[in-house]
Amino acid sequence: MSDALVIPTSIKIVVAGGFGVGKTTMVNSVSEIPPLSTEEVLTEASVGVDDMKGIEGKETTTVALDFGRITINPQVVLYLFGTPGQNRFWFMWDELAQGALGAIVLVDTRRLDSSFPSIDFFERRNIPFIVAVNGFEGAWEHSIEEVRQALDIDPTVPVVQCDARKRESSKDVLVELVQYTMDQLQSASA
């Protein structure tokens, strides 16, 4: 038995999506450390700027990033970077995505149109991503195939259901992303 020090591989993952889809919730639910969050109270300045349709009760918003960590095993540690969802904070996305192995595009089927900018962002940068349909009350009324068609994404991109409030569900999404990303890397090197 060896006493050799195991230095884990660090993997950067971006959790993205439109305003109010549950990015902060996902990072918070799965992080093994107290997550860093830049949540601020929505103010009158957001009236008429931020589209609150479908999320009228939302009181806070991410203004920079969310950060969390989860150890998959002694060799692999995921660092999670949640993006802000509003257009006015998109200047942060390039920095947050730099060096990312992959991304999760979190989707709310009540507001699918808010997902297109995130999907376009990762497609243009060739960053592997999966789509996770967040299970808000009644939000799973569409099949995975209906969501795939509505988003017009490549048939190889995984689309999964999740409940971002639940740790196990968020972990399952991360496992799916890591497996997909590794498959993509192996295909590219073959």
Q: Quote the CA–CA distance of 158 and 105 in Å, as a whole number.
A: 11
Q: What is the pTM of this model?
A: 0.83
- Give the whole-angstrom CA distance, residue 185 versus residue 190: 9
Any residues with CB less than 8 A from the CB of 133 and at least 6 apart, and which? Answer: 107, 109, 139, 140, 142, 144, 147, 159, 160, 161, 162
**CATH: 3.40.50.300, 3.40.30.10, 3.40.50.1000, 3.30.2270.10. Which one for 9-189?**
3.40.50.300
Judged by average pLDDT, the poorest of 43-47, 74-78, 148-152 is 43-47
**Spatial separation of the C-alpha atoms in residues 51 and 70, rounded to whole Å:** 32
- What amino acid occupies position 40? E
Element (H, E) at 24: helix 23-30
pLDDT in tens, 92-125: 788 889 999 999 999 988 888 889 999 999 999 9
Which helix (H) or strand (E) segment holds residue 104: the answer is: strand 102-107
86-97 per-position pLDDT tens digit: 666 677 788 889
pLDDT given for residue 3 in this prediction: 65
Burial of 122-148, coded b for 16+ CB within 10 Å and e otherwise, reads beeeebbbbbbbbbbeebbeeeeeebb
